[in-house]
Amino acid sequence: MNNAIEFLKTQVGKDATNSPSPLMQWLNPILISVKEDNLIFEYEIRKEWLNPSGSLHGGITAAIVDDTIGATVFSFGEPSAYTTINNVVDYFSTAHEGQTIIAETQTIKKGKKIINVQCEIWNNSKARLIAKGYSNLLRIEKQI
């Protein structure tokens, strides 16, 4: 295990106060599970996350997809950095204020230059798939 995944394992059951991502601190999920290539987070839908119809805004869903995929790549603990090339989200159903939703990531491909990671957004019981997203990320050498 690398240092990054070890750090994440210490955060299981906790909120995102210690996250290096300011956006994740604001979204403030609870980290539920940490496995290799696979993270699970839980979010409570807040008022600022709603669309004009009063349900979960697709923009927040996209933000959660992108942010949890970033955390998954962080968990690899690689010396290289990754930059997101694209982010695709397909929307299937919705959720409402105060409800709890689950984001679960899975690494699909670790290429030499390109990594592909997906994220599923589920309702609390994981009976209903709310959205599914995918990103390609490019490995870049870290500046020293």
The C-alpha atoms of residue 7 and residue 10 are separated, in whole angstroms, by 5
Q: Coil, strand or helix: which one is 16?
A: helix
Tallying the residues shown for the chain, one arrives at 144
Please tell me whether residue 9 binds its own copies under the rule CB under 8 A: no
Please tell me whether residue 35 binds its own copies under the rule CB under 8 A: no
Please tell me whether residue 65 binds its own copies under the rule CB under 8 A: yes
* Residue 16 one-letter amino acid: A
Please tell me whether residue 80 binds its own copies under the rule CB under 8 A: no
The Cβ of residue 105 has, within 10 Å, a number of other Cβ atoms equal to 25
Please tell me whether residue 73 binds its own copies under the rule CB under 8 A: no
**Interacting residues toward its own copies by CB under 8 A:** 20-23, 25-26, 47-53, 57-60, 62-67, 70, 74, 81, 83-93, 108-109, 111, 113-114, 116, 129, 132, 134, 136, 138, 140
